[in-house]
Amino acid sequence: MLSTRVPDLDSLELLLAVATEGSLGRAGAVRGISQPAASARIRRMEGSLGFPLLHRTARGSTLTPAGALVAHWARDVIAAAAVLDAGIGSLREDAAGRLRIAASLTIAEHLLPHWLVRLSAGQPGIAVSLSAVNSDEVARQVLHDEVDLGFVEGPTPPSGLSGKVIGEDRLVVVVPPGHPWTRRRKALTSAELATTRLVHREPGSGTRTAFEVALAAFAPLPTPLLELGSTTAVRSAVAAGAGPAVLSDLAVRDDVANHRLVEVAVSDLDLRRRLRAVWPAGQRPSGPARDLLAVAARSKPSRT
């Protein structure tokens, strides 16, 4: 039986909205409630948990280190609830089409929603289930026929899979405002980056793997400051002052534009990476999976 300390889904989604928006008022607007109501809900959650979740300032709100960890765990809970909801919906759906997808978190959060909207516009009867996991787990689910199509980040398809490049993004170094790196006159070098302890995604994530491949000449790299299981958790930890991180430009573009994070240039390192659709070797996607692949290929993310 769950403890009474476990917050409800609405409160967890509000906490994630604060992490994304950097403001209780904006997070409340996203969730369709007023700023006072949003603030009251967060305070109730803090009271129940027994520790603060947010740093509140006149400029906005950021997650405390403890809040960042709760947000990290909350994302898994919400993702599981979304899978449950999608599964229940598919059982109720009378339409013939069904599409099972596994995608790395960057693609699942920032690209797939747009692709699925375009797919459903032409085929409204398709029931979709999405597993948002790291790239290693995507490969496993595709190889074990648990999904119809996978999306990963990396230089080559995982072993046993065929694939198609459907876009490209780049990794960027980000720090909180006021970090010493924001006052540098010269760009960071790869050697400096390679000797710095960072806030990282967990081993097996496409972001972590791409970074380690790019700095393979400097291996072994330092022990991470933190290892977190989602991009949202890493962003929140950096904003709370835990340390620098390397994340997808797709994931931090809004944070950088709104000055919640600062991008630090690296002078001698190519951090571009390929985004790829994958399926079992010797096969080709068919039905809704083939149609989604076509949508993704026509909607390649622009290079930055």
pLDDT tens per residue across span 157-174: 788 999 999 988 899 999
Which are the contacts of 91, defined by CB distance < 8 A and separation ≥ 6? none
Domain covering 168-273 assigned CATH 3.40.190.290 in the classification: yes
Spell out the per-residue pLDDT of the chain, length 304, in tens: 666 778 888 899 998 888 888 888 888 888 889 989 989 999 999 888 889 999 888 788 888 999 889 988 888 888 888 888 877 766 555 434 789 999 998 899 889 999 999 998 887 778 889 999 988 899 999 999 999 999 998 777 788 999 999 988 899 999 999 999 999 999 999 999 999 999 999 988 889 988 999 999 999 999 999 999 888 899 999 999 999 999 999 999 999 999 999 999 999 998 998 899 999 998 999 889 999 999 998 876 554 4
Nearest to 171 by CA among 245, 105, 235, 114: 245
Which are the contacts of 25, defined by CB distance < 8 A and separation ≥ 6? 35, 38
pLDDT of residue 81: 85
Nearest-angstrom CA–CA distance, 187 and 176: 17
Nearest-angstrom CA–CA distance, 252 and 256: 6
Beta bridge partners of 162: 279
pLDDT of residue 90: 61
Place of tokens 């978190």: 105
Nearest-angstrom CA–CA distance, 38 and 54: 12
pLDDT of residue 5: 78
Domain covering 9-73 assigned CATH 1.10.10.10 in the classification: yes
pLDDT of residue 30: 84
pLDDT of residue 120: 87
Q: Where are the domains of the chain?
A: 9-73, 75-167+274-298, 168-273
Q: Is the dihedral of CA 280, 286, 292, 298 positive or negative?
A: positive
Same fold, 75-167+274-298 and 168-273: yes
Name the CA dihedral angle for 266, 269, 275, 279, rounded to a multiple of 10 degrees. Answer: -140
pLDDT of residue 6: 82
The superfamily in CATH containing domain 75-167+274-298 is: Periplasmic binding protein-like II (3.40.190.10)
pLDDT of residue 303: 46
